[in-house]
Structure 1
């Protein structure tokens, strides 16, 4: 070991070798050790003094050095001088400029002994390392801000699609992702994983789809990544993604128009219930027979318009807002609907309560929710969703629509699947629906434990190939099947539709 005048022990070095302090300093540039505070602390011990890093306002960023002349610090941070050295009584001080992408900082060092060439080199190189760390940190922060901004924009586009505002969605997307929403139709996929792995999956999905799909971290479900894509190849890309990750599942919708993104999203979530039981962990929503397709289209449209007639009194844009919110609110909880739409949950509840009051419905009743869901799903196919008063007088009621032979056959085939189980799944499910989906109330009516009710409902899911505990299209179709067979009472509405005979 060789001793220096500043009493800093230095290892002997040969030509081409770095001194020990330089090697230590370089270690701070490794990804695992990058910290400006650590570098300042290291410099404090290396030069046996007090070190402080101050920004262009004079505020202390790291270290705990002595008070400095503000004018001198300002000269360094403004770039008028690069460095300064002076004595203050028994203290020796040195001030060095540290560059930064947007401003200049000052590194101040104070110690009892004078600065020699060695200590000056250590301080100069340390300032350079701090500059690199600050620049890297700013670059990283800028990249994070850009990624957050892009993610926020993708979420905003999804929210616009969810409320059928395709014009605004395309306008937002056009500037950043040209051609993303030029197609009139698309499929929606939902990738499900543990919340801790979602960010990684979202990044992989963006990479695998080459940004030709709308990839959004679901604002409602922490473990979900939503993908909206017009490309046929996206399904294969996402299946490969699922294959590479354990405990990851993929649900996909059938192709829908962009205006029906909310419907497609519901289909993708429904497909997840099936994907969990599949060996390949993927499922596409089966284009199964839906009850509304078995009804007389003209009668169904007329009945739908008649039921929604009270909403015709409000301005068109408010009516559309109420219907879009209610349609999502019947699919998801108020909290999740609020996250999807980017509004408060109180706003969602207020809009739904307004629709509930105008229709004279009781949304605590699953049968009423299922019927309103049917009307909102059907009204989308109407030209303007408003009633023709000359036609609606002759429209039959809900009971007539559900009593058709085709609907009853569909309902019977669906619910008879439950009879193959030795347990009374069908009876439990019917009672659970009548109790508003509340396991405790259903258990009291059946004289069993609430856990038994929950197990029966969960057991019915793979049999019916429908997701039941979470409200949505799957559950409402099962409710309509019970109504068609007369296993549940038809709900009564206080609105105009109830003034007509049930048919």
Structure 2
């Protein structure tokens, strides 16, 4: 009898009431406290059940069980013993309570999923303060965005919810999880340099299990989530099914892994010490986006305002912000983990060596740069170095190299494939620039590219 009731409860309240009536060999009615019939078996039993619940003393032969917000009335058949009816009523009420708890949990689950999507949209629209207010004023400063796509996005979405049980409640706002279009989106919220990769292992397992192609961004400030979104999307385009790819794809080759963290932290703090919070935000937006126009969109100010701020920042840092080496060094500084507040000294950027000895010894820096650029032959290395000196602009670099723009574009594609790197990433370009300049020799100049007939490349083809 209990098994039959449980099987019925797995389908619906109505089927459970029908089963209870059948086992009681009579009728059963479920109603709410306002006297409305929720379901009854048979349908004609509804009015009698309502009258019995309103005046139980007048219906002693009926079994009435009350619960939160509702009541169950069971009318037994003439042959049904009282103990059997009591068991039916108690079991049915317990199953109804269980179903109510499940419904409340599902409603909470769906409400929280909608809240995740709303917070993501606030971050993407450049409103981090509203987003953090929704999160209960949580003290998170940075976010890492994961974007995954494939045939099983919705199954992966549910699996991620079951595994991570994410929440945006004030007590533990760690991760946002939602579906945007045909993508599973995960946004890990954290401080600068803390828990930045805590969501990565789970996202990688989800990608592998459901054969999704995914990409993830560098950790970025909350007001730059739109940039992180674009970075993750670029990385996802180059990912294979079942794999999670970084926006920079540098991994263990990246300077944040190569340079000891304490050295990088101290150096970064000393470099950026003259800047206040707004100036650091402006500088990071400019360096990561690659132009004042793109930074203006991220910061929601005019391009002229960005350029005015950059002139002031250049004065404070005693640096020429248009110089590609200065940009590469500053991008490394803004990406460094947060420094302790007790660091009060300041220093200036130095053009030589490109990687200050405070970070790496000249020998170590040369080994790092040589290993990073080892897949490139000299012609490609010369072309890449020139292109990076022009901050990734093809037209002026092609002019200096005396190559057509299509030829240089083709060469840069070869460089990207040989290095397994996305050259559209500002972070990748910055580190490659530092590497190329670190190992450059007097022969690594455009004038020494072998050529014939002006623009024709001569010698071994750079494939």
Normalised by the size of structure 2, how large is the TM-score? Answer: 0.51
1:251 aligned counterpart, secondary structure: strand
Structure 2 unpaired stretches of 5+: 1-111, 167-174, 189-197, 443-463
Aligned to 1:329: 286
CA contact (8 A) 2:328 2:434 kept: yes
Cα displacement string for residues 346-404 of structure 1 (whole angstroms, at most 9, x for unaligned residues): 554443343234324333332221011122223x4321386426xx69x9975542652
The total of aligned residue pairs comes to 303
Cα displacement string for residues 280-309 of structure 1 (whole angstroms, at most 9, x for unaligned residues): 464255631333554576765555444334
Structure 2 residue 340 is the aligned partner of structure 1 residue 383:
yes
Aligned to 1:269: 231
Aligned to 1:291: 255
Aligned to 1:155: 121
CA contact (8 A) 2:177 2:185 kept: yes
Structure 1 residues 347 and 277, CA, compared in 2 at 3 Å: closer, same or farther? same
1:474 aligned to 394, 404, 428, which one?
Answer: 428
1:251 aligned to 215, 218, 241, which one?
Answer: 215
Cα displacement string for residues 174-213 of structure 1 (whole angstroms, at most 9, x for unaligned residues): 49xxxxx7999985313479xxx9xx97x88766644834
1:250 aligned counterpart, secondary structure: strand
Structure 1 residues 270 and 157, CA, compared in 2 at 3 Å: closer, same or farther? closer
CA contact (8 A) 1:303 1:397 kept: no
CA contact (8 A) 2:113 2:177 kept: no
Cα displacement string for residues 103-161 of structure 1 (whole angstroms, at most 9, x for unaligned residues): xxxxxxxxxxxxxxxxxxxxxxxxxxxxxxxxxxxxxxxxxxx9999755323356889
CA contact (8 A) 1:274 1:462 kept: no
In the TM superposition, what are the counterparts of 1:95-494 in structure 2 within 5 Å? 151-157=117-123, 170-174=132-136, 188-191=145-148, 209-210=160-161, 212=166, 213-215=175-177, 226-229=185-188, 232-237=201-206, 243=212, 249-252=213-216, 269=231, 272-273=234-235, 276=238, 278=240, 280=242, 282-284=244-246, 287-291=251-255, 294-295=258-259, 303-311=267-275, 319-333=276-290, 334=292, 336-343=294-301, 345-378=303-336, 380-384=337-341, 387-388=344-345, 398-399=353-354, 400-401=356-357, 404-419=362-377, 424-470=379-425, 472-486=426-440
Cα displacement string for residues 318-373 of structure 1 (whole angstroms, at most 9, x for unaligned residues): x1122123213211244554555555555544433432343243333322210111
Query: Residue 273 of structure 1: CA displacement?
Result: 4.2
Query: Residue 455 of structure 1: CA displacement?
Result: 1.2
Structure 1 residues 305 and 446, CA, compared in 2 at 3 Å: closer, same or farther? same
1:417 aligned counterpart, secondary structure: coil
Normalised by the size of structure 1, how large is the TM-score? Answer: 0.47
Query: Residue 450 of structure 1: CA displacement?
Result: 0.8
CA contact (8 A) 2:250 2:428 kept: no
Structure 1 unpaired stretches of 5+: 1-145, 176-180, 244-248, 312-318, 489-503
CA contact (8 A) 1:251 1:268 kept: no
CA contact (8 A) 1:274 1:466 kept: no
Structure 1 residues 234 and 302, CA, compared in 2 at 3 Å: closer, same or farther? closer
Q: For 2:399 and 2:376, how far apart are their aligned partners in 1?
A: 22
1:467 aligned counterpart, secondary structure: coil
CA contact (8 A) 1:190 1:268 kept: no
Q: For 2:241 and 2:328, how far apart are their aligned partners in 1?
A: 32
Cα RMSD of the aligned pairs, angstroms, is 4.9
1:382 aligned counterpart, secondary structure: coil
Q: For 1:240 and 1:342, how far apart are their aligned partners in 2?
A: 39
CA contact (8 A) 1:291 1:407 kept: no
Q: For 1:365 and 1:320, how far apart are their aligned partners in 2?
A: 23
